[in-house]
A and B are shown apart, each in its own frame.
Chain A
């Protein structure tokens, strides 16, 4: 069966520091991968998606970036965090693009 791993679970970072969140999927090949952000009490905002290695599409212009160095690995990065980057970050995967997304356990990021 397929599993998705996301880490770390929680992260407290100072403003201006870098960020790296990692997500890996097991048990499948060539998954569609997604990064979402969820602000407190809000819905899910799509940040990036990838349909293959090295292919990244950005939804929201901001100081975040994403990379897919391997088929089942998806990384969310920032060179300098802002206060507004705080939130709950969720990685997800699917077989068919934009259908039946399965989410990772999330990373609660607090930027202070």
Chain B
């Protein structure tokens, strides 16, 4: 089955700087890669997703890039703000959606 590894596990950035989270996956048949944001005690919420036929997707301050050859994808958050502080999860699908272990992002004011 799919194995998704996510790095780093924690990330602290200064407000206004960029944050990058990277994930690798094992199943070359995976074709859908979402990213979820989970605030403390809340439900995970989908923030952006990408399919395997696209190399990059952007939505305001967040973007995701996919390298199918290397089997890795990344989340980029630019101009970070305090409300970006949360746990971020990547995921990849084979017959199920497999999640990474999460990255705790802290934006310092």
Say whether, besides A46-B96, A59-B96, A98-B93, A103 and B102 are in contact (CB < 8 Å).
no
Chain A contributes a number of interface residues (CB within 8 A of B) equal to: 17
CB closest chain-A residue, reference B4: A43
The main secondary structure of chain A at its interface with chain B is: loop
Q: Which chain A residues lie closer than 8 Å to B98 at the CB level? A: 46
Residue in contact with B43 in the complex, picked from A42, A46, A59, A105, CB distance below 8 Å = A105
- Encode A27-54 as 1/0 by CB contact (under 8 A) with B: 0000000000000011110100100000
Q: Flag A66-109 by CB within 8 Å of B: 1 or 0 each.
A: 00000000000000000000000010000000111111111000
Q: Which B residue sits closest to A6, measured CB to CB?
A: B43
Chain A residue at minimum C-beta to C-beta distance from B102: A43
Q: Which residues of B contact A44 (CB under 8 A)?
A: 44, 89, 91, 99
Residue of A nearest to B43 (CB): A103
B46 pairs with A42, CB closer than 8 A: no
CA gap between A101 and B91 in the complex, in Å: 11
The reply to whether A43 and B43 contact each other, CB–CB distance below 8 Å, is no
> Which residues of chain B from 32 to 65 have a CB within 8 Å of any chain A CB?
32, 34, 42-46, 49
Q: B89 to A43, Cβ gap below 8 A?
A: yes
- CB nearest to B1 among chain A residues: A59
What chain A residues lie within 8 Å of B43 (beta carbons)? Answer: 90, 103-106
Docked-complex contact B46 and A49, CB < 8 angstroms: no
Query: What 4 A-B pairs are tightest by C-beta distance, nearest first?
Result: A103-B43, A44-B99, A43-B101, A43-B99
**Would you list 18 pairs from A and B whose C-beta atoms are within 8 A, ordered by A residue?**
A42-B101, A43-B100, A44-B44, A46-B97, A46-B98, A49-B96, A90-B44, A98-B93, A98-B95, A98-B96, A100-B49, A101-B46, A101-B97, A102-B46, A103-B45, A105-B43, A106-B42, A106-B43
Q: A41-B102, A42-B102, A46-B97 are in contact. List 5 more A-B contacts (CB 8 A).
A: A43-B6, A98-B97, A101-B46, A103-B43, A104-B43
